[in-house]
Amino acid sequence: MTLKDINSKDIIKNKNVNSLFVSTHSKKFNLDCNFLSGNFYLDTFNYFPISLNNNTFSDLFSWEQKSKYANFYSEKFYKNFNEKKKELKFFSDTIILGSSGSDDYYRNIISFLPRLFFIDDKEINLAIHRKSSNGFRVFLIKILEMMDIKLKKFIFLDDDFYSFEKSKIPQFFNKETSLRILKSSLKENENKDRLNIYVSRQNSNSRNLINEADIIDYLKTKNFRIIDTNNMDIQEQIKIFSSAGVVVGPTCSALTNLIFCPQDTKVIELKPKYKFQYEDTFKYRYSEICNFLKLEYNSVEADPIENDFSDKYVKKFININYWRYGVIW
């Protein structure tokens, strides 16, 4: 046996399945958001809920590569999951927003955050990943205050599977819808004097520009403001990008803030030379944002500096919980 996936049309047709869901409507976005409500199981790798009857709802709860969900429908997963689900730690009376297990700023903003704006409860316990940054937590609190929602407490989740009772999890939105929600909800007022911005990665461990000092010296002569988003809170980042005229920077999560740029902003992404299939996730990430929001996008491919990553590092950074239930992505 395996899990059974229920598509959106069958959710509507089947009264028993439909009763598992509640929906909220936003007049601002003219958009509905469906919440799985009640008792269910959930992983914190994909935030992919499983009903007590072993049903899933991939139309509502999948994001990015569809292939990563294939293992949920294997006999191996079904067997392992059913053997272990009675031992799972459980929470109750919780809304699961979720967040990236690697505290990926792009993933937190694009995939998880838009769903927050459809919560209509007045007091909530909110579940996010334990590894989310303090900056992201503070930002969530500020948004909830803006929405007049009292946060009773955060529920912090680790890399694992959990059982939830009397709880709710909102659906995921496609990328274009997420961008529309974010831009409408968070974009700051534009300044008349537009900024030229260079996004530095001088304090990062990867995708650094070896000759960044030379680039910065040149850009300063062109009145560029040099920013390091590691030293800025999220609201500061949104404010600066909302007033951008030109944005230059190497591929990095900080470019997620292109969402908030004025429509005619010029963008130059300094990209690495991609070689592997797993890098496809990053290859078009920011050009897609620019395309959706009608920004003027260009890219420059940088010459790579080779690093030697042996098998021991690969093993070190793959969490053992990814394998416990036969879920590999």
Residue-wise pLDDT for 170-204, tens only, equals 999 999 999 999 999 998 777 778 999 999 977 66
Q: Do the domain assignments include residue 319?
A: no
- Please tell me the pTM assigned to this model: 0.89
Same domain, 157 and 228: no
Asked if 154 and 126 count as a contact pair (C-beta separation under 8 A), the reply is: yes
Q: Do the domain assignments include residue 310?
A: no
Query: Could you identify the residue written with the tokens 């395309």?
Result: 291
> For residue 314, is pLDDT > 60?
no
The mean per-residue pLDDT over the stretch 309-326 comes to: 46
* Percentage of residues of the chain with pLDDT beyond 90: 76
Q: Do the domain assignments include residue 72?
A: yes
Q: Could you give the 3-state DSSP secondary structure of residue 258?
A: helix
Give the tens place of pLDDT for each residue, 84-134: 999 999 999 999 999 999 999 999 999 999 999 999 999 999 999 999 999
Q: Do the domain assignments include residue 213?
A: yes
Same domain, 160 and 275: no
**pLDDT value of position 224:** 96
Same domain, 205 and 152: no
Higher pLDDT, 286 or 187: 286
**pLDDT value of position 115:** 97
Q: Do the domain assignments include residue 106?
A: yes
CATH code, 216: 3.40.50.360
> Of 72, 23, 26, 29, which Cα lies nearest the Cα of 47?
72
CA 49/CA 58 separation, integer angstroms: 9
pLDDT, mean over the chain: 89
Q: Give the residue numbers spanning the domain of 191.
A: 187-301
Q: What is the DSSP string of 84-130?
A: HGGG--EEES-EE----TT--HHHIIIIIGGGGGG---SEEEEEEET
> Of 238, 132, 113, which Cα lies nearest the Cα of 178?
113
Same domain, 209 and 109: no
> For residue 316, is pLDDT > 80?
no
| Residue 280, burial from CB neighbour count under 10 angstroms (0-12, 13-18, 19+) | exposed
327 alpha carbon, distance to own chain's centre? 19
The mean per-residue pLDDT over the stretch 57-65 comes to: 92
The mean per-residue pLDDT over the stretch 142-166 comes to: 97
Q: Give the model's confidence band at 276: pLDDT under 50 very low, under 70 low, under 90 confident, else very high.
A: confident
Same domain, 252 and 141: no
Higher pLDDT, 318 or 13: 13
Q: Do the domain assignments include residue 317?
A: no
CA 237/CA 269 separation, integer angstroms: 17
Q: Do the domain assignments include residue 180?
A: no
Same domain, 129 and 256: no
> For residue 22, is pLDDT > 70?
yes
Domain tally for the chain? 2
| Residue 217, burial from CB neighbour count under 10 angstroms (0-12, 13-18, 19+) | exposed
> For residue 323, is pLDDT > 60?
no
Q: Do the domain assignments include residue 243?
A: yes
Same domain, 47 and 149: yes
Most confident residue range from 208-217, 251-260, 319-328: 251-260
